[in-house]
Amino acid sequence: MLTPDDVSAMLRQASLRVTKPRLAVVAAVDKLPHADTESVIAAVRAELPHVSHQAVYDSLHTLSDLGVLRRIQPAGSVARYETRVGDNHHHLVCRSCGAVADADCAIGETLCLTPSNTHGFRIDEAEVVYWGLCPRCADGDASPPP
Amino acid sequence: MLTPDDVSAMLRQASLRVTKPRLAVVAAVDKLPHADTESVIAAVRAELPHVSHQAVYDSLHTLSDLGVLRRIQPAGSVARYETRVGDNHHHLVCRSCGAVADADCAIGETLCLTPSNTHGFRIDEAEVVYWGLCPRCADGDASPPP
DNA sequence: GCGCCAAACTTGACTCGTTCAAGATAGCGG
DNA sequence: CCGCTATCTTGAACGAGTCAAGTTTGGCGC
């Protein structure tokens, strides 16, 4: 759970300005985990009707770089954002409707970060995506995304 | 290693036609692992100068669906393709230049497929992306992609 | 071999998430 | 409270990928 004060402190510490659009973006993502940019824009405009899409895009980038938000983008999906950061959790993605759910790491953080052959890469993160069908799509097998 | 005969047999078995563009696309991806669509188009046109981009897009889709090719798409990257399929290997991706390398699974296929909480999802694949810096970008730290 | 016909291809326009650019606005240090 | 500049608004542009209409061609039956 992120309070506006937490976010303000992090922004200030990085010499970034504390603006209404930025706080509203964090609040929106916190309320709608895994939301895409369009949903974030809509949620932000519920509070601040005149915010431009560009301000939201910019805020999402800035906050992701800062580490306040995490950006995920499964193949074939638009960018999605969440406030759960730094806890090594992964994602379940539905092949049919694109729904995303959280999954805690089955193994250990260290093991996850150790492939058998690194080819000289300096690895800093292991991202896992579990592909499958969400409960709804697995049941009534024909639910194409609207 | 995939021969044109192997591919032809797979296509025929699926009641799909064996066409020059399709064979050329497989050959191109086999020669250029992790190539993006643009590179595949260029490689195919070295053999068949008049192939349209649409034919390549369509062939890549068809062959991926068939299981001849595998499509990967790390966040922030365009689609890339490879002929190594069905061997549960994963990928190292460079944050700086976007280079992709293969990494064999550190653990076991089964373990990889078992998150601690599935939220009711019916999982069929676990995809792992190791993010970091490739040897070149880790050395001379300033190599922005051109 | 010959001809049929649907799958596959060519051509060219189009979508839409995201980025770029120029000028207006508003945090925040002094 | 003032001024500087990061940030925001506005609006155009970009590009990977898709859609659609019409033409070509692989593979089957004869």
Mapping DSSP to helix (H, G, I), strand (E, B) and coil, where does residue B112 land? Answer: helix
Mapping DSSP to helix (H, G, I), strand (E, B) and coil, where does residue A135 land? Answer: helix
Question: What pLDDT, on a 0 to 100 scale, did the predictor assign at position B74?
Answer: 97
Which residue has 């592909």 as its token pair? A131
pLDDT bin (cut points 50, 70, 90) of residue A21 is very high
Give the protein-side footprint of strand C (Cβ within 7 Å).
A 11-12, 17-20, 36-38, 53-54, 57, 61, 73, 78-79; B 16-17, 19, 21-22, 50-55, 58-59, 62
Is residue A15 assigned to a domain? Answer: yes
Identify whether residues B66 and B42 lie together within a single domain.
yes
- In single-letter form, the type of residue at position B11 comes to L
pLDDT bin (cut points 50, 70, 90) of residue A14 is very high
Q: CA A101, C1' D14: Å apart? A: 32
Question: What pLDDT, on a 0 to 100 scale, did the predictor assign at position B2?
Answer: 83
Q: What is the mean pLDDT of chain A?
A: 89
Identify whether residues A62 and A96 lie together within a single domain.
no
**Does A53 contact strand D, using a CB cutoff of 7 Å?**
yes
Model confidence over A133-143: pLDDT tens digits?
Answer: 999 998 865 44
Is residue A82 assigned to a domain? Answer: no
Q: Which two tokens stand for residue A25?
A: 């973006």
Identify whether residues B61 and B98 lie together within a single domain.
no
Question: What pLDDT, on a 0 to 100 scale, did the predictor assign at position A144?
Answer: 43
pLDDT at A13 over 80: yes
Identify whether residues B12 and B64 lie together within a single domain.
yes
Question: What pLDDT, on a 0 to 100 scale, did the predictor assign at position B88?
Answer: 74
Identify whether residues A60 and A94 lie together within a single domain.
no
pLDDT at B105 over 70: no
Identify whether residues B67 and B18 lie together within a single domain.
yes
Question: What pLDDT, on a 0 to 100 scale, did the predictor assign at position B89?
Answer: 86
Is residue A49 assigned to a domain? Answer: yes
For residue A104, give the CATH number of its domain: 3.30.1490.190
Closest residue, by C-alpha, to the C1' of C20: A54
Identify whether residues A65 and A15 lie together within a single domain.
yes
Identify whether residues A23 and A56 lie together within a single domain.
yes
Q: Are A76 and A131 in contact (CB under 8 A)?
A: no
> What whole-number percentage of chain B has pLDDT above 90?
68
Q: Which of B105, B122, B131, B133 to mutate to probe the A interface, most A CBs <10 Å?
A: B122
Backbone angles phi, psi at B128, to 5 degrees: -120, 130
Identify whether residues A50 and A17 lie together within a single domain.
yes
pLDDT at B106 over 80: no
Q: Calculate how close chain B gets to A18, using CA atoms only, in Å.
A: 27
Nearest CB to A124 within list B107, B128, B131: B131
β-partners of residue B133 are A122
b/e B44-71 (16+ beta carbons within 10 angstroms → b): bbeeeeebeeebbeebbebbbebebbbb
- Rounded distance, CA A92 to CA A112, Å? 16
Is residue B61 assigned to a domain? Answer: yes
> Taking residues B103-114, what's their average pLDDT?
62
Q: CA B21, C1' D23: Å apart? A: 17
Identify whether residues A42 and A66 lie together within a single domain.
yes
Identify whether residues B58 and B92 lie together within a single domain.
no
> What whole-number percentage of chain A has pLDDT above 70?
87
> Residue B71 belongs to what H/E stretch?
strand B70-72
Is residue B144 assigned to a domain? Answer: no
Nearest residue of B to residue A77, measured between CA atoms: B75
Question: What pLDDT, on a 0 to 100 scale, did the predictor assign at position B85?
Answer: 85
- Rounded distance, CA A82 to CA A32, Å? 8
Higher pLDDT, A112 or A81: A81
CA A126 centroid distance within chain: 15
Among the three residues B72, B106, B121, which one is the final residue of a domain in this structure?
B72
For residue B65, give the CATH number of its domain: 1.10.10.10
Q: For residue B92, what are the domain limits?
A: 87-139
Question: What pLDDT, on a 0 to 100 scale, did the predictor assign at position A74?
Answer: 97
Is residue B81 assigned to a domain? Answer: no
Is residue A80 assigned to a domain? Answer: no
Q: Which of A121, A139, A143 to mutate to probe the B interface, most B CBs <10 Å?
A: A121
How does DSSP assign A23-85, residue by residue?
HHHHHHHHHSTTEEHHHHHHHHHHH-TT--HHHHHHHHHHHHHHTSSEEE--TTS--EEES--
Q: How many domains does chain A have?
A: 2
pLDDT at B132 over 50: yes
Closest nucleotide C1' to the C-alpha of A80: C17
Identify whether residues B40 and B95 lie together within a single domain.
no
Contact check, Cβ <8 Å, A92/B116:
no
Q: What is the mean pLDDT of chain B?
A: 89
Is residue B80 assigned to a domain? Answer: no
Among the three residues B72, B105, B130, which one is the final residue of a domain in this structure?
B72
Q: Calculate how close chain A gets to B132, using CA atoms only, in Å.
A: 4
- Rounded distance, CA A96 to CA A144, Å? 6
Contact check, Cβ <8 Å, A115/B131:
no
Q: Which of A97, A111, A122, A143 to mutate to probe the B interface, most B CBs <10 Å?
A: A122
Model confidence over B52-77: pLDDT tens digits?
Answer: 999 999 999 999 999 999 999 999 99
- In single-letter form, the type of residue at position A40 comes to V
Among the three residues B72, B97, B118, which one is the final residue of a domain in this structure?
B72
